[in-house]
């Protein structure tokens, strides 16, 4: 019988679980809320409870967990997580090993997503791939020569903290002008808010019910689709900024594929077109011509499937 795996995507606001077959099909899934102040032992107890309630639990041969944070993959320890401050040097692997069957693999959530993109979007058919998750933060994962590349301390892939502007605004990471500080979901919304101070009539305000604090990337995408110039320009600028970073990545790493995932990537062509245009203008011609830049068709399940496949 083909093996099946348990994949867990442990994020700051939600924990998703899925039983996945060898082809990446989700046989069963569940989720529960997580919160900023969650206590590791309590979350682990919930993971165990939800896992054991799965119909296929007894058939699971291995478990993989992707965690939003800095991970020691060797020891299976969550060193720290900016969005889960109580998770400090948490021995997650040890805590789960007592309760769940098979080998437990722990990794960063963007690494898990990259592994998912490698198998689902690229079908395992390229050798070098970059996955960029665009959401509240900007994460990334690197597949190098068909393997997940983690670097010396497991930190590799932090694309969001590549600097775009040396004199730019302070980033959560402590540096200045990181790309995340420009294209992270909250920053896109606050750019709109700023621009609307001098423009009272915009589709963005209609869609947000007149409340500038309710502006989201989803609203910005809908507004751009109905030809709102502020929204269109925000996406053009964000795409150009990402394109500048991608041009650097293409010259430096020479990937065959860059996969965009996460909520902000749902803007589709609005962000993808200016990215491609900027890459064409700025990257070396040959590596740019072979690099496919795509939006993942599997955003919702990259995290859990990737985590599950990490345990294979
Ligand atoms: Zn940063």
Which of 67, 51, 65 shows the shortest CA–CA distance to 19?
51
Output the CA torsion 301→73→51→1 (10° steps).
Answer: 80
| 301 in Cβ contact with 116 (< 8 Å) | yes
- Residue 159 CA to ligand 1 centre (angstroms): 9
| Confidence band of 13 (pLDDT split at 50, 70, 90) | confident
Tens of pLDDT along 186-223?
Answer: 999 999 999 999 887 899 999 999 999 999 999 999 99
The pLDDT score that the predictor gives to residue 200 is 76
The residue count of the chain comes to: 312
- Residue 20 CA to ligand 1 centre (angstroms): 34
Phi and psi angles of residue 131, each rounded to the nearest 5 degrees, phi first? -115, 130
Instruction: Report, as an integer, the average pLDDT of 276-290.
Output: 98
Cα–Cα separations (whole angstroms), residue 266 to 41, 50, 229, 271, 295: 34, 29, 19, 9, 8
- Residue 189 CA to ligand 1 centre (angstroms): 18
Give, as residue ranges, everything with CB less than 5 Å from ion ligand 1: 161, 171, 173, 175, 178
Model confidence at 1: pLDDT above 90:
no
| Confidence band of 265 (pLDDT split at 50, 70, 90) | very high
The pLDDT score that the predictor gives to residue 172 is 84
- Residue 177 CA to ligand 1 centre (angstroms): 7
DSSP 145: T
* CA atoms of 59 and 148, how far apart (whole Å): 26
- Residue 175 CA to ligand 1 centre (angstroms): 5
Query: Mind listing the domains of the chain with CATH numbers?
Result: 4-117+301-310 (3.30.420.40), 124-296 (3.30.420.40)
* CA atoms of 184 and 105, how far apart (whole Å): 28
Cα–Cα separations (whole angstroms), residue 289 to 10, 159, 283: 36, 21, 9
Higher pLDDT, 176 or 83: 176
- Both ends of the chain: CA-CA distance in Å? 15
* Sign of the CA dihedral with 160 first, then 162, 164, and 168 last: positive
SS3 content of the chain, % helix, strand, coil (to 5): 45, 25, 35
Percent of the chain whose pLDDT exceeds 70: 100
- Residue 184 CA to ligand 1 centre (angstroms): 11
**What are the residues facing 138 on neighbouring strands?**
134
Q: Which residue bears the tokens 């799965």?
A: 54
Cα 262 to chain center, whole Å?
5
* CA atoms of 213 and 249, how far apart (whole Å): 34
Tens of pLDDT along 99-116?
Answer: 998 899 999 999 999 999
- Residue 240 CA to ligand 1 centre (angstroms): 18
């Amino acid at each position: 019988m083909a093996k099946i795996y348990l994949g867990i995507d442990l994020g700051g606001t939600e924990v998703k679980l899925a039983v996945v077959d060898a082809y990446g099909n989700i046989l069963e899934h569940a989720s529960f809320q997580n919160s900023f102040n969650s206590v590791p032992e309590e979350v682990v107890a919930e993971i165990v409870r939800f896992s054991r309630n799965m119909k296929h639990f007894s058939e699971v041969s291995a478990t993989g967990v992707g965690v939003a944070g800095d991970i020691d993959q060797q020891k299976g320890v969550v060193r720290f997580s900016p969005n889960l401050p109580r998770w400090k040097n948490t021995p997650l692997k040890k805590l789960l090993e007592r309760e769940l069957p098979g080998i437990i693999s722990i990794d960063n959530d963007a690494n898990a997503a990259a592994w998912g993109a490698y198998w689902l979007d690229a079908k395992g058919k390229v050798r070098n791939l970059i996955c960029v998750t665009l959401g509240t933060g900007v994460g990334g994962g690197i597949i190098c020569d068909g393997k997940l590349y983690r670097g010396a301390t497991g930190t590799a892939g932090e694309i969001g903290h590549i600097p775009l502007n040396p004199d730019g605004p302070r980033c959560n990471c402590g540096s200045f002008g990181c790309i995340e500080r420009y294209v992270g979901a909250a920053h896109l919304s606050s750019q709109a808010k700023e621009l609307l101070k001098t423009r009272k009539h915009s589709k963005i305000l209609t869609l947000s019910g007149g409340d500038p604090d309710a502006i989201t990337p989803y609203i910005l995408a809908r507004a751009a689709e109905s030809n709102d110039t502020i929204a269109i320009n925000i996406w053009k600028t964000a795409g150009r900024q990402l394109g500048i970073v991608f041009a650097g990545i293409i010259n430096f790493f020479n990937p065959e594929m860059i996969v965009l995932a996460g909520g902000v990537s749902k803007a589709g062509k609005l962000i993808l077109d200016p990215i491609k245009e900027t890459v064409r203008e700025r990257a070396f011609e040959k590596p740019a011509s072979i690099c496919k830049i795509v939006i993942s068709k599997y955003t919702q399940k990259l995290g859990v499937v990737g985590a599950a496949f990490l345990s294979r």
